[in-house]
Amino acid sequence: MEFLVIGAGSLGSLLGGLLAREHAVTLVGRDPHVGAVRESGLAVDGAVESHVRPAARTDVPGGRFDCALVTTKAFDTEAAARDLAAAGVDLDTVLSLSNGLDNETTLAGHIGAAVLAGTCTYGAMTPEPGVVRCTGVGRTVIGARRGGPSAAADRVGTAFDEAGIETTVAADMPRRLWEKLAVNAGINAPTALARAENGALLAGPGNAVARRAAREVARVARASGVDLSDGEATAAVERVAEATAANTSSMQQDVLADRRTEVDAILGSAVDRGDDLGVPTPTLRTLADLLRAWERERDLR
């Protein structure tokens, strides 16, 4: 298949690099990373090792692609959708792997192709331009954004499997997106504020905060009509924290680099939805307030 990766940061570069072992891939990202990939190829190291030569550029190309993989920060989803539409890219499918809720709705508002939802628990970081490090092998789950069967998801899932990316095609993506939100709320925000690795949340006060955050997300999910129990949400947080115990979460990476975080997409979306539905979210609100205060102090908002 022909893949176009929009947002070739850590996760986008890792998935694009793995896909490039079997498929044609074009990465769209920022220099100096893109320039290094264009000049010397993309080195994948860590838990998976490979060296591939995908196409790489800083702008969205026109032309024909089977699938666009959107791995931008959630706050850049709107811009990615507009760039794809403006470039007139001919697409069969768009797959969002960004954090938060409603990214798929944003993409569908600009693009006529089938829009899929997805989650991915691979750990990734870019230690230097032209290199992406796999810090943990995870799973990718994709499916129709509203749930149910999807021939498009089947095709993309097969292509991922061919490239060695363990992938499940699921018919319950709405529930899985809320579970992913619970994991992100329970892991990203506490580790970013505590400057701790994910494994610090497996016991002690970090675990208590992570579990409270996950339970609040689950309660908002149920009020939204999605069947996600408190136990399922907390078990997912602990499962991912254990599998990625040595990892620095993506939100902590943003904090350490003085970059804007995804606090609005990961925490704000659940807090706002909870307010609308009358579901209290005191832990999520406190975490969000602290992260927003940190961003405001650095003029990142």
The residues that are catalytic are: 180
Q: Is the dihedral of CA 148, 150, 153, 154 positive or negative?
A: positive
What is the rounded distance in angstroms from the CA atom of residue 286 to the CA atom of residue 165? 36
Q: Is the dihedral of CA 172, 175, 176, 177 positive or negative?
A: positive
- 58-90 core/surface letters (b: 16 or more CB in 10 A; e: else): eebeeeebbbbbbbbbbbbbeebbebbeeeebe
What is the rounded distance in angstroms from the CA atom of residue 187 to the CA atom of residue 238? 9
Identify whether the C-beta of residue 111 lies closer than 8 Å to the C-beta of residue 81: yes
What is the rounded distance in angstroms from the CA atom of residue 199 to the CA atom of residue 275? 31
Number of H helices, E strands in the chain: 12, 12
The conformation of residue 101, written as its DSSP 8-state character, comes to: S
The identity of residue 265, as a single letter, is: A
Q: Is the dihedral of CA 243, 248, 251, 252 positive or negative?
A: positive
